Amino acid sequence: MKKIPKSIQLFIKGFISLAFFSVLLSFVQGNELAKVFTQVNWLYMAITFGVTLVMVLASCAKWKLILDLKEDISFLKLFKIYLVGYFFSNILPSTVGGDVVRSYYAGKLIENQSYSAVSVFVERFSGIVFLFLLVAVAPLFQPHLYTNPYIFVPACAGLCFALVTGWIWKAKNPFHIPNLIAEKIFVILQALAKRMNSQMLLKLTNSLENLYRKVLSRLKKVREELGIAIAAIKSDKGFLYRLIFLTLFFYLLTWVNVYTSFMAFDVEVDFIKICAIVPAIMLVAHVPVTLLGNLGYFESVFVFYFLLVGVGGAESLAMGLLLRIKMLTMGIVGFATYLVYKQKNKLHLTGNKE
């Protein structure tokens, strides 16, 4: 099966972004949105930008914690690299991912590209695992939300992903039984396709088998990287507790970030409701659908989910757009950092994502 050219992928994602914004603007009355933007609370506006900065600092601190297991690097140097990665991830419609950029630059500093890649993986992966758990348990703040499929399904998915992660981490040979089951299924499907003389079923089976092989290969790589991370953790008993603390602190900040972004427009939303639904929003909103940090789709998810807890569409869209503005602001700072950052073998914007 031929891969879709990257230029076509960018065009499709750009079109999807416009489609989401078109739906949003048809759903939210323009005068309602304009009214929300006129009631700016400048104190909370300053506070919410400060919260965003602290979130980036917390993420960078967690990354430094992991890198320090091998070599001590100044926080300022890593923070500059983190900002550059933020620019690549959230503003630049490039084939280079922010994590790849961070891994490259940090690898140059510690002269160990392999461990640099592991450090980025552990920083991201630990956050993802906690997000899975939060998606499952956060609705306990508002238990009736579990009756809503848009909360219940992500909660079940989060719990399943967390359990799978635990299995991959703890089991001696986690892929043996799933691989036996998958092989049996593919043999049965291929035999069925031949008996029915169905080329369509045969092609579908081959496509599914290829997809399975790719997923299995990626999971094995995750297992390998987890092994390296676990070995590093065992060398410092207090490391795991510090990692958990920084991860929890980051997610606490995500709740505060949304709350203060609402308050920046004098819209007061029950903080408990925010705690209950924001993890599900984060999981759903970060499925890569559109360009530039899921432009359009990201805002749509916020509007949809906050409607579930009684927050108006205009208010939620204004808050989502403010989150976008803060993201762009940090990205612009990252771009400025990229322009002045002095390092040997500087990474060019035309690099390829690995």
User: Residues 264-285: pLDDT tens digits?
Assistant: 999 999 999 999 999 999 998 8
What is the span of the domain harbouring residue 277?
6-167+237-340
Instruction: Give the chain's domain count.
Output: 1
Domain membership flag for residue 333? yes
Domain membership flag for residue 177? no
Domain membership flag for residue 124? yes
Rounded to whole angstroms, how far apart are CA atoms 282 and 148? 17
Mean pLDDT for the stretch of residues 60-75: 89
Measured over the CA atoms of residue 201, residue 207, residue 211 and residue 212, the dihedral's sign is: positive
The secondary element (H helix, E strand) that includes residue 8 is: helix 6-27
Rounded to whole angstroms, how far apart are CA atoms 257 and 281? 13
Q: What is the pTM of this model?
A: 0.82
Q: What tokens does 149 get?
A: 């499929």
User: Residues 87-144: pLDDT tens digits?
Assistant: 888 776 554 578 888 988 898 888 888 888 888 888 888 898 899 999 999 999 999 9
Q: What tokens does 247 get?
A: 């991860």
Domain membership flag for residue 295? yes
Domain membership flag for residue 212? no
Rounded to whole angstroms, how far apart are CA atoms 282 and 313? 18
Rounded to whole angstroms, how far apart are CA atoms 83 and 92? 13
CA distances, 37 to each of 40, 263, 316 (Å) = 6, 12, 12
Q: What tokens does 335 get?
A: 């771009």
Rounded to whole angstroms, how far apart are CA atoms 340 and 300? 35
User: Residues 11-47: pLDDT tens digits?
Assistant: 666 667 666 667 666 667 667 888 898 999 999 999 9
